[in-house]
Amino acid sequence: MPNTEWRVDRDAHGMRLDKYLADAARLGSRGRAVAALERGKIFVNEAEVSIADAGRRLAADDLVRVWIDRPGSSKRRSRIGLAGDLDIVYEDDALVVVNKPAGLLTVPLERKPEVPSVFDQLEHRLRSHGRRRTFAVHRIDQDTSGVVVFAKDAEAQRVLKDQFRRREPARVYWAIVYGTPNPSSGVWRDALVWDENALIQKETHPKDPKGQESVSEYRVLETFAEASLLEVRLRTGRRNQIRIQARLRGHTLVGEERYTYGPESLRPIDFGRQALHAKRLTLRHPVDGRPLDLEASPPRDFVDLLTRLRR
């Protein structure tokens, strides 16, 4: 059966996605709609959606597409959502994507043996399902929340890491910083060098042979009395990149303790970590190459901080 798509008209504006799909003119029943969402067959505006999006309200002109004969979609996918202490964003036979909470390492570190990691929790979970190995693909900082990807076999890890090496994945963060960048959108470009002793990034001269070009695109999403919410898209992926680049421009992240300047009185907003969340990651599936648009909701502390700032 060929792919089928519909353009949402004005009469369907505000309708739930599952109800829209269940209409007789489309999939014909709620059961078929739920099954299609569970099996990864539904796309809205070319972005894959899941059963977690069943209650999503559609807007006029949204494009809804069903890929009936999508390869690998004959079986119901593993449940997406909370699995023990892990918030699973996406999972199939090749990879698992987690919304990492702040305070948890991505992978274990010898210098922090007492701190738990997502890697260890996934290993324990997968072993209980008959698998032996977890393969790390990339990392985010311990006190940064958001999307992290792990492979379930060495070949999937190799393909995914190659994508990161070629800077193909789109990596989008939310950051809450002091002040308001001017202009309200632009590009941060710096030469950075990693200090192995201090374990921090430092600015260096562009001609420094040890320096690495570091580039981020930013735009201001919302402004408050003393701070701003930024969307930052990484072109490169250096350690602590957003944190140091924001600080170099006088816009230290709220809650930041490492990349700061001046007295603490310049940073009066109380927050227990750097206000940085890895919100979205778009990459190609390591097996069939289809695009995956992976998004992690900001955690409670981040949302509460935004609520305080809006008041």
pLDDT, residue 90, reads 92
- Give the pLDDT score at 71: 65
Q: What are the mean pLDDT values of the chain's consecutive 10-residue runs (311 residues total)?
A: 79 91 89 83 86 81 88 52 72 93 92 89 77 87 96 95 96 97 96 93 93 96 95 96 96 96 88 96 94 92 94 83
Q: Output the pLDDT for position 74.
A: 56
Domains in the chain with CATH codes: 4-66 (3.10.290.10), 173-277 (3.30.2350.10)
The residues, any chain, with a CB within 8 Å of residue 141's CB and separated by 6 or more, are 239, 240, 243, 274, 276
Q: Which residues contact 1 (CB under 8 A, 6 or more apart)?
A: 68, 69
> What is the model's pLDDT at position 114?
86
Q: What is the pLDDT of residue 124?
A: 83
Given a contact cutoff of 8 angstroms between Cβ atoms, the answer to whether 28 and 21 are in contact is no
Measured CA to CA, the distance from residue 222 to residue 236 in angstroms comes to 24
Catalytic center residues: 141
Q: Are 186 and 218 in contact (CB under 8 A)?
A: yes
Enter the pTM of the model.
Answer: 0.73
List Cα–Cα distances, 263 to 99, 186, 243, 257, in angstroms: 33, 28, 18, 12
Q: CA-to-CA distance for 178 and 180, rounded, in angstroms? A: 7
